[in-house]
Structure 1
Amino acid sequence: MPADVRGVVVMGVSGSGKSTVGTLLASRWQGRFVDGDDLHPPANVARMAAGHPLTNADRSPWLQRVGTTIAAAADAGQLVVTACSALRRTYRDELRRTAGGDLAFVHLTATREVLAERVLGRHEHFMPPALLDSQLATLEPLQDDETGLALDITEPPDLVVERVATWHRGHAPAAR
């Protein structure tokens, strides 16, 4: 990964496996895992649990909190892997701005059918299946000028993590 990358954000819609892959990546790299869902204010969680998508006004303070959490870890010399939906380019730009530099994004993808099956199988999560379509409509894939890669999550999580590690090795700064 380029030297100026401050952290890794595992992104995607609900049910894509952000927390699973993020936890495995952080463990592999001996870093810290942060679940962006844990940084939502209670009002955001209640809104989503009631089946209402967040507005940009709801989302902005949360994105700032996620970004400053990444910045604090990077400033302390920690590698941090964060699970965060980061569905729009503007949201990713906000994360980069508040993190204080570039971030590497790992975009987890799948068909709507696979994602719906996964979301329906979760019973302890606040995000209801009804919001999946609004998330898919909001999603903006990574652009060419963004550091990161997209991976299909129908493969086992360990293989997804291995693909990220292979990508990382190809983008790490050369030893001096």
Structure 2
Amino acid sequence: MILIVCGVSGTGKSTIGNMLAEKLSLPFYDADDFHPQSNVQKMQNGTPLNDEDRQPWLETLSDKLASWENEGGAVLACSALKAAYRDTLASKCTSNIEWIILHGSKALLTERLGARKGHFFEPRLLDSQLSTLELPNDAVVVDIQPPPEDIVQSIVARLHTF
């Protein structure tokens, strides 16, 4: 079973993904750890990534997802903002992926990004991500306002695979 926790930066993908993985006894991975250095550098400089920048990263993640699926599953935190990105991510998996979209107001996201320390994402890129976001019809969409424990509980209750 593969679960991908998606959303723009600041939604809590890593926090929620980690907690969800622990609850489901699955390994957790963060897609940010697989970005090539050139992508990290662009984001640190405040330059939004384009589709050409993302494609090799998405293909690497697609290979990883297929491998993790064969090993029994995993939870991945990944922005996966566009349908085309999600298609690439899912392209090598043989079973359905559970897509979980974390969604919140721009004000809350801005507040969270301003408080975050030690992350390469430049907060001024939030507008670019929000304009890129394409919400899927078949995902579990979850509001990020409640405490993380409540968000995880809500996700588990709404998963299609359980």
Give the TM-score, by structure 2 length: 0.96
- Alignment pair present for 1:150 and 2:144: no
RMSD over aligned Cα atoms: 1.2
Correspondences of 1:8-87 after superposition (within 5 Å) = 8-77=3-72, 79-87=73-81
CA distance in 1 between partners of 2:33 and 2:161 (Å): 30
Tell whether the 8 Å contact from 1:35 to 1:83 is kept in structure 2 after alignment: yes
- Alignment pair present for 1:165 and 2:133: no
- Alignment pair present for 1:106 and 2:103: no
Quote the offset at 1:99 in angstroms: 3.2
Counterpart of 2:122?
Answer: 128
Structure 1 stretches of 5 or more lacking a match?
A: 1-5
Offset from partner CA, 1:30-51 (integer Å, 9 cap, x none): 1000000000011100011100
CA distance in 2 between partners of 1:88 and 1:47 (Å): 20
CA distance in 2 between partners of 1:68 and 1:30 (Å): 22
Counterpart of 2:83?
Answer: 89
Indicate the SS of the match to 1:54: coil
Give the TM-score, by structure 1 length: 0.88
Quote the offset at 1:172 in angstroms: 3.0
CA distance in 1 between partners of 2:56 and 2:103 (Å): 26
After superposing on structure 2, the runs of 4+ consecutive aligned residues of structure 1 that deviate more than 4 Å are none
CA distance in 2 between partners of 1:30 and 1:23 (Å): 10
The percentage of aligned residue pairs carrying the same residue is: 40
Structure 2 stretches of 5 or more lacking a match?
A: none
